[in-house]
Amino acid sequence: MILAFAFVLGIVSGLRTFTSPAAVMLRAGGVVSIVLVIAAIAEYIGDALPQAPSRTGPVGLTARLISGAFVGWAIALPAGFPVPGAIAGIIGAVIGTFGGHTARVAAIARIGALPAAFIEDLAAIGLAALIVTR
């Protein structure tokens, strides 16, 4: 079950780089969690801007893979599966990145850029909250 959670949090990392680490670290508390929440909010705002870089470009993809690996590792560590958790998080991040990009492009064509960004933000927040509260 923990590897499935790592995978889903990886998908969230693919959608929004800082959302899953912020959610995981909020459970632990501390200054790092506050910094990650601020980074996540900044990402929501920046992602809605037309000049936002592509998530599938080298920088965006690398950040999402690192995010997925981190959250997978972090939630699987207490269960004794940090490496498989990191791998599940990376796989989820790849799927979230490219699947999210495809869905976002389709949504933009139907409902516009801002509503599409907002729906994707809500999906990422909802999935992350669902997993970290389990």
The whole-model pTM stands at 0.93
User: Per-residue confidence of the chain (134 residues) as pLDDT tens digits?
Assistant: 999 999 999 999 999 999 999 999 998 888 999 999 999 999 999 988 888 888 899 999 999 999 999 999 999 999 999 999 999 999 999 999 999 999 999 999 999 999 999 999 999 999 999 999 98
CA distances from residue 129 to 55, 61, 62, 65, 100 in whole angstroms, order as listed:
22, 23, 23, 20, 18
